[in-house]
Amino acid sequence: MSINANDILFYLSGGAANTNPTKSFGGEQSNTQLLSGLNALFPNVSQRQAESGHVDYLCIYAVNNSKKDTLYSAKFSLTKETQSGCQCALGIVKQPEVQQLVITTTATKGTFHVRFGKIRFQCEWEPNADLMAQRLQTALEKEGVPDVTVQSLTKKLPNYIFQITLGNRAEPLVEIFKIDLNQSQVAATKRITTGAPINSIAYQISSSIEEPPLITWRDGSLEVGDMLPGDTVPVWIRRTTENNTAALQNDGIAITITGQPNPVS
């Protein structure tokens, strides 16, 4: 069975309790769905705003509500936008997940156990830092972790430093939860950057005229990646009203998500 249109839902932002579309200022996803229709998200542009010019920003969440189906190569697009009146653009933060694993040890042999979300696996220790990075990357790839690279940033032993780079989604930490090495050891993982846009939490602005940071804006479409069951994506909409814009009734847009039911090779 493949994913269908009813599996993709839109929600407001602004926190779980927010029910006001005009307060969708980012932050946590709301429990309130975004409905279609006039003023479903943005309020009317006032005469003063139309005369002087105005730019405002609101954020919504797209959710793959399917229990088991993935939308592959998901793409967000603006459609049905009129050529006069306000103009809109879509925006997302797009950056890889970067983590840093530090292991302090003088061990020459042994094993350690890795936890990554629901994944658990054992890896054999290698005292050569570059070879150990390669071994850890291979183990993650064998467990089906996509778009992963592991690089040694080790400068001085006994502090082994491994940078783990994952795809454009917020991920759980790659953690060592059990170590059986032939010397004492300490291991810790910290997050350097949170992957985005998939499963990330939008930056929260204080008002609709504050521009959110780090956004990639597109007038047409935005490629997001694979949306697994339960995945969420925060999407910003920028509405631009040029100065001296003439009034236009029923000025609006439609946001569509397209993708593939099967992986794209």
Average pLDDT taken over every residue of the chain: 93
pLDDT classification of 135: cutoffs 50, 70, 90:
very high
Place of tokens 């929260």: 204
In a domain? residue 264: no
The amino acid sitting at 2 is S
How much is the pTM?
0.90
Cβ neighbours for 16, distance < 8 A, ≥ 6 positions apart:
28, 29, 30, 31
Cβ neighbours for 9, distance < 8 A, ≥ 6 positions apart:
33, 62, 63, 65
Q: What does the pLDDT look like over 170-223, one tens digit per residue? A: 999 999 999 999 888 899 999 999 999 999 999 999 999 999 999 999 988 899
Same domain, 85 and 203: yes
Q: Is the pLDDT of residue 242 over 70?
A: yes
In a domain? residue 188: yes
Q: Which of 92, 148, 88 is nearest to 117 (CA)?
A: 148
Separation CA 64–CA 73 (nearest Å): 13
Question: Quick one: how far is CA 110 from the chain centroid?
Answer: 36
In a domain? residue 43: no
Q: Which structural domain, as residue segments, surrounds residue 134?
A: 98-193
pLDDT classification of 65: cutoffs 50, 70, 90:
very high
Same domain, 86 and 206: yes
Instruction: Choose the final residue of a domain: 138, 162, 193.
Output: 193
Same domain, 136 and 250: no
Same domain, 116 and 181: yes
In a domain? residue 112: yes
The predicted model gives 250-260 an average pLDDT of 87
Residue 11's φ and ψ, nearest 5 degrees, are -130, 155
Q: What does the pLDDT look like over 71-119, one tens digit per residue? A: 999 999 988 666 667 889 999 999 999 999 999 999 999 999 999 999 9
